[in-house]
């Protein structure tokens, strides 16, 4: 039990630590003051989303190799959890932006990349919804997911280069790693990121199991 | 062998288009009337910036309309017939190639109508024409693949738009950036980075289409 599920406990402990320590740790006194603490939560959403979307991409490729329905379920649920993280990331970002920049949405390549990612994956869900045949749905969905993920990654990498300037931090490194982070914050930041990613996998696993049971009920196996 | 297949399939597409002239004429009329409506709506507001944005947005809509028919105009039985005699790679490459011809013609026509109605804003014409060719190739490859995906679902006309608009954005943003340079100066320096991005996107999309299309084709 513990041997298999240790990472779930780890996720819980890490997030509990991130929430408690996130509010008591000393943050440097910069322009954005105490809202700096949002870093532990807002950036975590981005990490969780990336982990989920990459998982979805990998399982879509695996589906096309073997046509095993279970791989497709994982791909869909990973994208579903990725969408949830994406929306939470946008909401936490809006709250932060409202304080820092005075408006919830600014025209910025990072924000546009996040929004376009949401459009792409919402379209993925609509595409799947409009195909009735199970195998066809899985196959077409997998093809679209691979195609779209690739173009979205290009978009996220290319657009900041085109725009030149971005007011969103974390510009120099492709994944949003705050490079000159205060040491006192670092000891909260890294565990928090790992915790959010593990939480994503946990939610995904539960959703996959629900989906499998639903499928078995549909097939009259139980 | 595959080369020959592609040649025949492209020839088939051209014959089919010439046989059903009303489809082609419909796209042409769509192009001209859209440009005319924007010309009336934007009468006194045409700057180099708006010219550029309008041009690419109109071209995007024309491309979506023109290419969305790629996999639905023929009956499923006919597709089954092609499936038995041609390789899927040849099918997708021939569709991309044919749509490239179509888009090249449509984009040049759009340029001519823009010149007629909204005046010339392009300083560096060779660069702009290069953008048109790369744009036609990019739009035809991305949209042909999306049309193949959408044709597998029901209600595929509205699906085509929601699937393609977000996906086509990296390409469109780069194209608009390059053509904006063509409106301000004769200078070619500083463009190499953008052109490399553009060509990388196109090569990657065609490779992905080549690898992924067989899964869509086999029903």
**DSSP secondary structure of B99-120:** HHHHHHHHHHHHHHHHHHHH--
Nearest by CB: B153 against A116, A127, A158: A127
Smallest CA–CA distance from B163 into chain A, residue: A123
Return the closest-CA partner of residue A139 out of B162, B152, B196: B152
Helices A183-218 + A69-100 axis angle, to 10: 140
| pLDDT top residue among B78 and A71 | A71
CB pair distance less than 8 Å for B197 and A158: yes
CA B215 – CA B145 distance, rounded (Å): 12
Q: What is the pLDDT of residue B161?
A: 87
Q: What is the pLDDT of residue A173?
A: 40
With bands split at pLDDT 50, 70 and 90, how would you rate the model's confidence at B144?
A: very high
Q: And the tokens for A5? A: 């599920």
Nearest by CB: A146 against B173, B212, B219: B212
Between the CA atoms of A23, A29, A35 and A36, what dihedral angle is there, to the nearest 10 degrees? -80
Q: What is the pLDDT of residue B133?
A: 94
> pLDDT of B103-133, one tens digit each?
999 999 999 999 998 888 888 888 999 999 9
ipTM of the complex: 0.88
On whether the CB atoms of residues A141 and B163 are closer than 8 A, the answer is no
DSSP designation for B189? T
CA B181 – CA B126 distance, rounded (Å): 12
Residues on chain A touching B155 (C-beta within 8 angstroms):
130
Q: Is residue A181 left, alpha or beta, with left meaning phi > 0 and alpha meaning psi from -120 to 50?
A: beta
CB pair distance less than 8 Å for A130 and B145: no
Q: And the tokens for A168? A: 């969103």
Alpha carbon of B172: minimum distance to chain A alpha carbons (Å):
10
What are the Cα distances from residue A86, in Å, to A43, A52, A91, A200?
11, 10, 9, 12
Residues on chain B touching A109 (C-beta within 8 angstroms):
none
On whether the CB atoms of residues B66 and B183 are closer than 8 A, the answer is no
Return the closest-CA partner of residue A181 out of A171, A172, A189, A193: A189
Residues on chain A touching B150 (C-beta within 8 angstroms):
127
Smallest CA–CA distance from B198 into chain A, residue: A158
Smallest CA–CA distance from B159 into chain A, residue: A127
**H or E element, residue A165:** none
CB pair distance less than 8 Å for A158 and B173: yes
Nearest by CB: B170 against A126, A132, A158: A158
Alpha carbon of B88: minimum distance to chain A alpha carbons (Å):
15
Long-range interactions of A186-192: CB distance < 8 A, separation 24+: A187/A21, A187/A25, A188/A17, A188/A18, A188/A21, A188/A22, A188/A25, A188/A40, A189/A39, A189/A40, A189/A43, A191/A14, A191/A17, A191/A18, A192/A14, A192/A15, A192/A17, A192/A18, A192/A22, A192/A40, A192/A41, A192/A44
CB pair distance less than 8 Å for B163 and A150: no
| pLDDT top residue among A174 and B1 | B1
- Whether residue B154 has pLDDT greater than 80: no
Alpha carbon of B179: minimum distance to chain A alpha carbons (Å):
13
Residues on chain B touching A131 (C-beta within 8 angstroms):
152-154
Q: CB-based contacts of B24: which residues, under 8 Å, 6+ apart? A: B17, B18
> pLDDT of B182-194, one tens digit each?
888 777 777 888 8
Q: And the tokens for B60? A: 């995007």
Counting one residue from A and one from B, how many pairs have CB atoms under 8 Å apart? 82
On whether the CB atoms of residues B127 and B198 are closer than 8 A, the answer is no
Half-sphere exposure of B149 (CA within 13 A, CB side): 34
With bands split at pLDDT 50, 70 and 90, how would you rate the model's confidence at B197?
A: confident
pTM of the model: 0.88
CA B156 – CA A131 distance, rounded (Å): 10
CB pair distance less than 8 Å for B201 and A154: yes
Alpha carbon of A205: minimum distance to chain B alpha carbons (Å):
27
List domains and CATH numbers for chain A: 2-218 (1.20.120)
Q: What is the pLDDT of residue A147?
A: 92
Cβ of A20: how many Cβ atoms within 10 Å?
11
Smallest CA–CA distance from B203 into chain A, residue: A151
CB pair distance less than 8 Å for B193 and A161: yes
Q: What is the pLDDT of residue A180?
A: 59
CA A77 – CA B143 distance, rounded (Å): 27
Residues on chain B touching A64 (C-beta within 8 angstroms):
212, 215
CB pair distance less than 8 Å for B154 and A130: yes
CA A132 – CA A43 distance, rounded (Å): 37
Q: What is the pLDDT of residue A124?
A: 94
CB pair distance less than 8 Å for B215 and A150: no
What average pLDDT score do residues B35-60 get?
89
CB pair distance less than 8 Å for A147 and B149: yes
Q: Which residue has the tokens 């059903």?
A: B20
What percent of chain B stands above pLDDT 70? 99
Q: And the tokens for A133? A: 């045949």
Residues on chain A touching B138 (C-beta within 8 angstroms):
none
Q: Which residue has the tokens 């390059």?
A: B178
CA B209 – CA B92 distance, rounded (Å): 7
On whether the CB atoms of residues A160 and A109 are closer than 8 A, the answer is yes
Nearest by CB: A127 against B159, B169, B201: B159
Segment-wise mean pLDDT, segments of 10 residues, chain A, 222 residues: 82 87 74 75 89 94 91 94 94 86 80 88 92 90 93 80 64 46 77 90 94 88 72
| pLDDT top residue among B77 and A197 | A197
Residues on chain B touching A159 (C-beta within 8 angstroms):
170, 173
Smallest CA–CA distance from A60 into chain B, residue: B212
């Amino acid at each position: 039990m513990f041997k298999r599920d240790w990472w779930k406990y780890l996720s819980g402990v890490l997030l509990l630590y991130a929430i408690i320590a996130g509010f008591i740790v000393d943050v440097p006194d910069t322009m954005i003051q105490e809202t700096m603490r949002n870093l532990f939560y807002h950036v975590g959403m981005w990490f969780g989303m990336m982990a989920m979307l990459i998982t979805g991409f990998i399982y879509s490729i695996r589906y096309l190799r073997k046509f095993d329905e279970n791989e497709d379920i994982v791909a869909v649920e990973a994208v579903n959890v990725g969408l949830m993280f994406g929306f939470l990331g946008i909401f936490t970002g809006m709250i932060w932006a409202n304080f820092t920049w005075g408006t919830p949405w600014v025209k910025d390549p990072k924000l546009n990349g996040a929004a376009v990612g949401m459009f792409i994956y919402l379209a993925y869900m609509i595409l799947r919804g409009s195909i009735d045949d199970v195998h066809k749905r899985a196959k077409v969905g997998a093809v679209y997911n691979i195609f779209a993920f690739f173009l979205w990654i290009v978009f996220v990498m290319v657009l900041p280069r085109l725009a030149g300037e971005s007011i969103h931090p974390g510009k120099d490194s492709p994944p949003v790693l705050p490079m000159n982070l205060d040491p006192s914050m670092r000891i909260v930041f890294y565990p928090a990121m790992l915790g959010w990613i593990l939480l994503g996998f946990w939610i995904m696993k539960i959703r996959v199991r629900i989906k499998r049971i639903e499928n078995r009920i549909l097939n009259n196996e139980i | 062998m595959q080369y020959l297949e592609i040649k025949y399939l492209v020839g088939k597409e051209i014959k089919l288009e010439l046989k059903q002239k009303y489809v082609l004429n419909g796209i042409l009329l769509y192009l001209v009337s859209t440009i005319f409506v924007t010309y009336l709506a934007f009468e006194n507001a045409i700057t180099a910036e708006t010219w550029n944005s309008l041009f690419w947005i109109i071209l995007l809509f024309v491309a979506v309309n023109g290419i969305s028919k790629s996999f639905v105009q023929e009956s499923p039985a006919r597709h089954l017939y092609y499936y038995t005699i041609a390789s899927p790679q040849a099918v997708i490459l021939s569709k991309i190639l044919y749509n490239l011809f179509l888009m090249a013609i449509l984009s040049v026509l759009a340029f001519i109508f823009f010149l007629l109605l909204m005046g010339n804003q392009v300083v560096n014409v060779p660069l702009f024409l290069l953008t048109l060719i790369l744009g036609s190739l990019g739009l035809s490859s991305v949209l042909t693949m999306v049309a193949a995906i959408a044709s597998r679902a029901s209600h595929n006309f509205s699906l085509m738009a929601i699937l393609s608009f977000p996906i086509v954005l990296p390409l469109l943003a780069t194209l608009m950036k390059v053509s904006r340079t063509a409106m301000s100066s004769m200078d070619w320096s500083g463009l190499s980075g953008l052109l490399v991005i553009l060509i990388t996107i196109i090569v990657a999309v065609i490779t992905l289409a080549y690898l992924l299309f067989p899964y869509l084709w086999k029903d």
